[in-house]
Structure 1
Amino acid sequence: MGASLELMKITGYTDENYQDAVPGQPYVVMINPENLKWQRSIEYNEQQAPNTSAPSQKYKSTPVDKLNFDLTIDCTGIVDPDRTSMEDEINDLEGIVYTYNGKIHRPNFVKVQWGKSLIFKGVLKSMDVSFTLFKPDGSPLRAKVSLAFSEYIAPETVEELDASESPDISHLVTVTEGHTLPQLCQKIWKDDSYYIHVARFNNLNKFRNLKGGEKLIFPPIIQSA
C-alpha cells in the first residue's frame, strides 16, 4: 500500500520566532499547488570608475525571499466530502494568513510547510481569490487563491546573520546594559577607536552610559568616517 499524499500546511504564529502557534489546527490545503515560485535576489549599486569601460557591481543588499503560489479550493464534495463550505474554507485560511490579530496588533506570522524539504517562514503580502464555479443560486463551489509571502526574520536574528566585522555596511545594534561604545565598536569592527564616529552619528554624548535595549546605528566606517 503506497504512502498517503503529503499535503501543504499553513500555520499561523503569534511570535516572530515561530514558537507560539495560533489556537486550532493549521490550514491543510485541499489540493497541492501545481507550481511554486521561490524568489531570491541581490541588489547592487552600479559604480563606474574613471577611465573604465563598464560599471562595477558594488553589493548593496540582499532582499528577503519571496514565495508565491496558487491554491485550488474545491467544495463540490469530490475532493473531500467533509469540506463543502467555501465560506468556512476562506475564513479558515484568512484567519491564519490575513486577519488582524488583536493580541499581537498585526496579522500572524506564517509558516508554509510542504513535506520536510519546503519550509518558508514569512508574512502575507497579498491574497487574491477568484471564484470559478458556482451553484445555481450563485454560491461559489470552486476558487483559485493566489498567495504571496515575504520572508520574515526576527531583528535579533538579522543581527546574528550580518557579517558584523564588515566595515562598509551599517549595523543596527541593540545595547545590552553595561556596554560602552568602545566595547561595542571592538565587538563589531575589532577596533574600539571608532566610538567617536558612532557617538557623532547617533547624536550621543560619547561618555554617557548606554541604556539596555537602546538601538544604535553603527554606520559604514569607510564611506562615512
Structure 2
Amino acid sequence: MSPAVRPGRALAQLVLMEPPATVGAKPGGRIAQLDLQFNPASLRLQKTTEWRRSPSRMAEESALPEFVGSGPRTLSLEVFLDATATHDNSVERAVDKLMKACVPTPASLGRKKPASPWVRFEWGTARTTSFYGVVTSLSATYSLFDVDGKPLRATCALSIEEASVDAQGQNPTSGARTARSTHTVVAGDSLPLLAWREYGDAAAWREIAEANDIDDPLALVPGTELVVPALRGAGAEEE
C-alpha cells in the first residue's frame, strides 16, 4: 500500500448506495461513504468474453469461434487499515463498515426483495474503475494485534462486479429524465464533480442544478440532499 495521502492528493473512497427497487433502475440514495485511509497501490480491472466453438471432425482444422457475449467488468483492490494512530485503536469498526456491503439493506428487506448495497469505487477523475457494482467477495487479514488481542492493522481484499451497463461518457443532454436518485453533499463536493461521477461529463452539472434550483454550482452545504436526475441516452451511439 501507498504511504499516507499527502495534502492535495485525491482520496479514494467507496460509496454504498441503496440497491434499485426494480430491474434496470438506477441505485437509490447513498447509504454510506467510506473514505479510504490509504490510496490503493494497485487496481486490477478484468473483463471476460464468452465464445462457443463446435467440435471439428477434421483433426487439422479448427472450427471458427462464435461470440456468445461479454461479461461484466470486475475491479479487485486491497484496502489497508491502520488503527495505531486512531482514537478507538481498533480496525474492527472499519472492517464492519466494509462488511455492510455484503448484507441486505433494511430497505430491501422491507420490500421483501433482499439485496446488498450497490457499490462505486471513486478516485478523483478516474473513469474506467468507477462504475456501479456489487461486492462479490471480501476478506480481511489482520496483521498486528494489541496485548489484549485487539486487531490494529488489517488488509481487506475485495472484488466489485459491474451491475450496470450504462454507456460511459455519454452526453446526458441527449437523454431524458426517466428516474431519479439522491446524493447527500459532503465536504469538497461540487456539482461539476458530482456530474462527472454520475454522467462521466463534468459539464452536465446544469442538469443537477436545474433539478435542485441551484444558482452557484460550487457553493454546496454539507448535509444537503440533492436530487440527481438519471439520464438515459436516446440518441445515436457514439462513433
Both structures adopt the same fold (TM-score exceeding 0.5)? yes
Aligned equivalent of 1:32, options 25, 31, 39: 39
The answer as to whether partners of 2:15 and 2:121 remain within 8 angstroms in 1 is yes
Deviates more, 1:83-92 or 1:44-53: 44-53
Q: What residue identity is the alignment partner of 1:68?
A: S
Structure (1 or 2) with the larger CA radius of gyration: 1
Structure 2 letter corresponding to 1:98: C
Report the AA paired with residue 73 of structure 2.
Answer: D
SS of 1:92's equivalent in the other structure is helix
- Alignment partner of 2:30: what SS? coil
The residue that corresponds to 2:106 in the other structure is 102
How far has the Cα of 1:82 moved from its partner?
5.0
1:137 corresponding residue in structure 2: 148
Q: Contact 1:74–1:141 (CA<8 Å) still a contact in 2?
A: yes
Picking from 88, 96, 112, the partner of 2:93 is 88
Report the residue type matching 1:86 in the other structure.
Answer: V
Which of 17, 23, 27 is the equivalent residue of 1:18? 27
- Structure 2 counterpart of 1:60, which letter? V
For residue 19 of structure 1, report the CA deviation from its aligned partner. 4.2
Does the CA contact (< 8 Å) of 1:48 and 1:56 recur in 2? no
What per-residue deviation string (whole Å, max 9, x for no partner) do you get for residues 93-140 of structure 1? Answer: 222x12321211211111111111141210010100110011111111
1:43·1:59 contact (CA, 8 Å) conserved in 2? yes
Other structure's SS at 1:150 match = strand
Asked if 1:67 is matched to 2:75, the reply is yes
Contact 2:13 2:123 in 1 (8 A): yes
Select which of 108, 116, 119 maps to 2:125. Answer: 116
TM-score by length of 2: 0.56
1:134-189 Cα offsets, whole Å, 9 max, x none, are 111111100010101110027xx69xxxxxxxxxxxxxxxxxxxxxxxxxxxxxxx
Q: Deviations along 1:65-102, whole A, 9 cap, x unmatched?
A: 1111111100111xxx457331221122222x123212
For residues 129 and 87 of structure 1, what CA distance do their matches in structure 2 show?
Answer: 10
Q: What's the Cα RMSD here? A: 2.3
What is the aligned partner in structure 1 of residue 175 from structure 2?
A: none
Q: Secondary structure at the match of 2:152?
A: strand
Q: Tell me, which stretches of 5 or more residues in structure 2 are unaligned?
A: 1-5, 21-25, 109-113, 168-239
The share of aligned pairs that are identical, in percent, is 19
**Distance in structure 1 (CA, Å) of the matches to 2:124 and 2:8:** 12
Which runs of at least 4 in structure 1 moved beyond 4 Å after TM superposition? Answer: 48-52
Distance 1:93 1:73 in 2: 11
Deviation of 1:47 after TM superposition, in Å, equals 3.0
Residues 37, 116 of structure 1: alpha-carbon distance in 2 compared, 3 angstrom cutoff = same
Native 8 Å contact 1:129 1:143 kept in 2:
yes
TM-score, with length taken from structure 1? 0.60
